[in-house]
Amino acid sequence: MAESDYQVVEFGPMESWGAFFGGYSPQTLAPGRKFVDREMDLGYFGVSLNSRVPGEGVDYWHSHSVLEELYLFLEGEGEMGLDDRVVPVKAGTAVRVGQGVLRTWRCAPTSPVPLKWICIRAGGARLKDIPKDAAPIRDRPLPW
Amino acid sequence: MAESDYQVVEFGPMESWGAFFGGYSPQTLAPGRKFVDREMDLGYFGVSLNSRVPGEGVDYWHSHSVLEELYLFLEGEGEMGLDDRVVPVKAGTAVRVGQGVLRTWRCAPTSPVPLKWICIRAGGARLKDIPKDAAPIRDRPLPW
């Protein structure tokens, strides 16, 4: 029987992200970050899990020449610097950042809880250029 | 001054996802789902936000021939059917599903809260084939 091509990794609930992730390292670039794609064999996109305490950000700007990023905020309140603008973010805010845009971020000093977000990045084919590839199967019994 | 290539959309906090998303439609394929990539100009990957109440799942299996998917669970308890296996999932579980694998899911009937997750999909270039493209800038003053 062929092995199914799936993989399962436990990263822990959001409240554990900050403490669990430890400090700055050359691999994480900042405290409070874990790269899902370093622990799973993601082929086409990368994902990081992020946590910052109130007032804490990163000490740099960065941009990407190839990758598009989506910052999806899940808890807390913060701000993103995007070129010459500052955008407030909170649970449910999604920020798409195109190539070449300078970005930086912080958890607001007044945030009642740490800022939690995921960041997704990819630079391959545009999704719209991939032909419809989903194949629903309605006659296979569900497993429960 | 050139427009910066970024976009901000508010999707609301996780506790609002289920009610906010409304019922089944040909666009959402299932209740409790919203496609971020239908409201933002994501070029290279797709993202959906998902919520199910205890006992609720979808009534079908599906697979993808081109797209790889990552299911990142954020709250609640549930199960995924993956070909002939059933895998328990909870806050912090990440499941990578390769092309061709049949998948279905549900929130466990015994889950104390609704199951919340994001699903990311892409099928373009492998991330490892994109040359290092991040450019950190450490001498630009932070905006706060």
pLDDT tens, residue by residue, B119-133: 999 998 877 777 777
Measure the CA angle with vertex B45, ends B43 and B51; round to 5°.
Answer: 125
Q: Are A21 and A14 in contact (CB under 8 A)?
A: no
Round to whole Å and give the CA distance between A114 and A131: 40
Residue A140 in domain? no
A34 token code pair:
């874990």
Residues of A within 8 A of B101 (CB-CB) are: 4-6
Candidate from A79-83, B72-76, B139-143 with smallest mean pLDDT? B139-143
Average pLDDT over chain B reads 87
pLDDT at B58: 85
Residue B80 in domain? yes
Quote the domain boundaries for residue A49. Answer: 14-126
Residue B144 in domain? no
C-alpha closest to that of B94 among A51, A26, A14, A69:
A14
> Which value does ipTM take for this structure?
0.89
pLDDT tens, residue by residue, A80-133: 999 999 999 999 999 999 999 999 999 999 999 999 999 999 998 877 777 777
Contact between chains at B79 and A144 (C-beta distance less than 8 A)? yes
Predicted model pTM:
0.89
CATH of the domain at B111: 2.60.120.10
Number of domains in chain B: 1
C-alpha closest to that of A37 among B70, B131, B117, B90:
B70
Residue B5 in domain? no
Q: Are B144 and A73 in contact (CB under 8 A)?
A: no
In chain A, the percentage of residues whose pLDDT exceeds 90 is 58
Q: How far is CA B113 from CA A38, A53, A75, B81, B110, in A?
A: 30, 26, 17, 20, 9
User: Is the model's pLDDT at B23 over the cut of 70?
Assistant: no
Residue B7 in domain? no
- Token look-up 């699903």 returns B119
Contact between chains at B124 and A16 (C-beta distance less than 8 A)? no
Contact between chains at A123 and B133 (C-beta distance less than 8 A)? yes
Q: Are A73 and A89 in contact (CB under 8 A)?
A: yes
